[in-house]
């Protein structure tokens, strides 16, 4: 059977909205909402993984994601959302209410929903919603992708705060993605304004040069991903060496031995080609394949390591 790519299903009916579970129709935002015009908000993406053998759904790194939502709100000057633990509990309750028993994607969204026209970050009503969508297949082909370096650059932190996951910061990555696809590639790699490797459109980059694994630093205009942290942790456990955070030249992409993309939606994806040049031998790297499998097994608790990364959703009588 082939791998289904881009497989998001129809969103579930029930959503969390400012403390209550309501229907999707009740959660609709006004066409006059500030965030709709100006992108003034922040969001997260959290994966939930179904294990049919356990008959259990596991939230992956929910606490870390909601902690980042709090940091993003602080950067944007938005009122802090509910405490992290309450947000995790609300998400569990929402997944139970929708009786989710398949892989799913959770989308918390904190936006300025007030009907205001002036451009500002103050004195506009905010709202917090959480929605759930089933996931069928892979967001990006986990068997390997062909990438092109985009003509679109990653916006610098002096323009858009990259440590915040801002709703209005995605037109650049969207343009880069479309440019890549229209040129016959699967994904785009974006550079900083001064020409160093930043990240792909919605995922971080980690690469192997000889025996060293490296990744662009947070100061090179990346969103420091939670999956990136998982990858670095597992690589350290596997190799005994820490992943090096340093600036990466574009030309290093052409001479690297392995490149992987990682993110909540993508999980871990091997890059097999950049700008028409094969990465390594042009096949998915062995370590990349191992990391991808390890994260998925940990997410479903088929691997007992890092059980603290996951939160069981359904009441099965065993919360261990």
pLDDT for 6:
64
Q: Are 74 and 152 in contact (CB under 8 A)?
A: no
Q: Is 177 a catalytic residue?
A: no
pLDDT for 3:
45
- Residue 95's closest CA among 47, 153, 37? 47
Structure tokens given for 202: 């919605």
Low-confidence residues of the chain, pLDDT below 50? Answer: 1-3
pLDDT for 1:
34
Name all domains of the chain by residue range, CATH numbers in brackets: 14-134 (3.30.470.10), 145-299 (3.20.10.10)
Q: Are 202 and 257 in contact (CB under 8 A)?
A: no
Instruction: Name the catalytic one among 65, 165, 296, 300.
Output: 165
Q: Are 188 and 200 in contact (CB under 8 A)?
A: yes
Q: Find the length of the chain.
A: 320
- Residue 137's closest CA among 291, 1, 301, 311? 1
The sign of the dihedral angle between the CA atoms of 302, 304, 306, 308 is positive
pLDDT for 140:
84
pLDDT for 246:
98
pLDDT for 2:
43
From CA 180, how far away is CA 140, in angstroms rounded? 14
Look up the pTM and report it.
Answer: 0.95
């Amino acid at each position: 059977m082939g791998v289904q790519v881009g497989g998001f299903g129809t969103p579930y009916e029930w959503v969390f909205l400012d403390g209550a579970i309501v229907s999707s129709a009740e959660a609709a935002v006004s066409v006059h909402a500030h965030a709709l015009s100006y992108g003034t908000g922040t969001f997260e993406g959290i994966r939930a993984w179904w294990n049919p053998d356990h008959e259990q759904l596991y939230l992956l790194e929910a606490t870390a994601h909601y902690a980042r939502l709090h940091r993003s709100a602080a950067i944007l000057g938005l009122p802090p959302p509910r405490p992290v633990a309450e947000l995790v509990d609300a998400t569990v309750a929402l997944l139970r209410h929708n009786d989710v028993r398949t892989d799913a994607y959770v989308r918390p969204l904190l936006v300025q929903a007030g009907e205001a026209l002036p451009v500002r970050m103050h004195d506009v009503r905010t709202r917090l919603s959480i929605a759930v969508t089933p996931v069928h297949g892979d967001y990006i082909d986990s068997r390997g992708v062909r990438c092109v370096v985009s003509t679109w650059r990653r916006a610098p932190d002096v323009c858009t705060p990259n440590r915040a996951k801002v709703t209005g910061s995605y037109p650049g990555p969207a343009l880069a993605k479309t440019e890549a696809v229209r040129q016959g590639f699967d994904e785009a790699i974006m550079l900083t304004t001064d020409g160093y490797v930043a990240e792909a459109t919605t995922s971080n980059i980690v690469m192997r040069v000889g025996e060293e694994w490296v990744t662009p630093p947070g100061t090179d205009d990346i969103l420091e991903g939670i999956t990136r942290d998982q990858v670095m942790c597992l690589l350290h456990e596997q190799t005994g060496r820490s992943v090096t955070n340093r600036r990466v030249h574009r030309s290093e992409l052409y001479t690297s031995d392995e490149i992987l993309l990682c993110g909540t939606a993508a999980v871990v994806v091997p890059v097999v080609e950049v700008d028409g040049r094969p990465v390594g031998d042009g096949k998915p790297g062995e370590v990349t394949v191992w990391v991808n499998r390890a994260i998925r097994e940990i997410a479903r608790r088929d691997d007992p390591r890092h059980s603290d990364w996951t939160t069981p959703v359904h009441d099965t009588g065993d919360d261990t």
